[in-house]
Structure 1
Amino acid sequence: MEKSGKKIADLVDKAEAEASTMRRDELLFSYNGTPYPVTVCSPETFRALESFEARSDDIILAAYPKSGTNWLSQILTDLVTVSQKKTQDRESSANDEELEEFPYLEVGDAEKYERMTKLPSPRVIVTHLRPENLPKSIFKNKVKILLLIRNPKDVATSYYHFSNGLASFPSYETWDDFFTDFMSKRMVWGCYFEYLSKWNKYADEENVMTITYEELKENRVLGVQKIAAFLGISLTEEELQLVVERSSFQAMKKNSQKTHGAFGDIFFRKGDVSDWKNLFSEDQNEKMDKAFEEYVGGTKLGKKLKYEVYCKA
Structure 2
Amino acid sequence: MCTSETFQALDTFEARSDDIVLASYPKCGSNWLLHIVSELIFAVSKIKYNYPEFPVLECGDPEKYQRMKQFSSPRILATHLHYDKLPGSIFENNAKILVLFRNPKDTAVSFFHFHNDVPDIPSYGSWDEFFRQFMKGQVSWGSYFDFAINWNKHIDDANVKFILYEDLKENLTSGVKQIAEFLGFSLTEEQIETISTRSTFQAMRAKSQETHGAVGRFLFRKGEVGDWKNLFRETQSQAMDEKFQECLAGTSLGAKLKYVSYCQA
Alignment partner, residue 60 of structure 1: 21
Number of equivalenced pairs: 265
For the pair shown, the structure with the greater C-alpha radius of gyration is 1
Q: CA deviation at 1:159?
A: 0.4
Is 1:195 equivalent to 2:147 in the alignment? yes
Task: Give matches, 1:150-165, under 5 Å.
Answer: 150-165=102-117
Task: Give matches, 1:7-26, under 5 Å.
Answer: none
Is 1:73 equivalent to 2:25 in the alignment? no
Q: CA deviation at 1:154?
A: 0.3
1-structure distance, mates of 2:254, 2:89 = 27
2-structure distance, mates of 1:287, 1:100 = 42
Is 1:83 equivalent to 2:35 in the alignment? no
1-structure distance, mates of 2:6, 2:16 = 19
2-structure distance, mates of 1:132, 1:237 = 37
Runs of 4+ with >4 A deviation: none
Is 1:243 equivalent to 2:187 in the alignment? no
* CA deviation vs aligned residue, 1:212-255 (integer Å, no higher than 9, x gap): 00000000000000000001111112211221011111111110
Alignment partner, residue 175 of structure 2: 223
Alignment partner, residue 7 of structure 2: 46
Is 1:205 equivalent to 2:157 in the alignment? yes
* CA deviation vs aligned residue, 1:37-75 (integer Å, no higher than 9, x gap): xxx321111110011011111100001100001111100
1-structure distance, mates of 2:135, 2:89 = 32
Task: Give matches, 1:230-309, under 5 Å.
Answer: 230-309=182-261
Structure 1: any 5+ residue segments left out of the alignment? Answer: 1-39, 86-90
SS across alignment from 2:70: coil
1-structure distance, mates of 2:121, 2:134 = 13
Alignment partner, residue 117 of structure 1: 69
Q: CA deviation at 1:168?
A: 3.4
Q: Which of 1 and 2 has higher RCO (CA within 8 Å, sep 6+)?
A: 1
**Over the residues paired in the alignment, what is the CA RMSD in angstroms?**
1.4
Q: CA deviation at 1:278?
A: 0.6
SS across alignment from 2:264: coil
2-structure distance, mates of 1:166, 1:299 = 35
SS across alignment from 2:27: coil
Give the fraction of aligned pairs with identical amino acids, expressed as a percent.
54
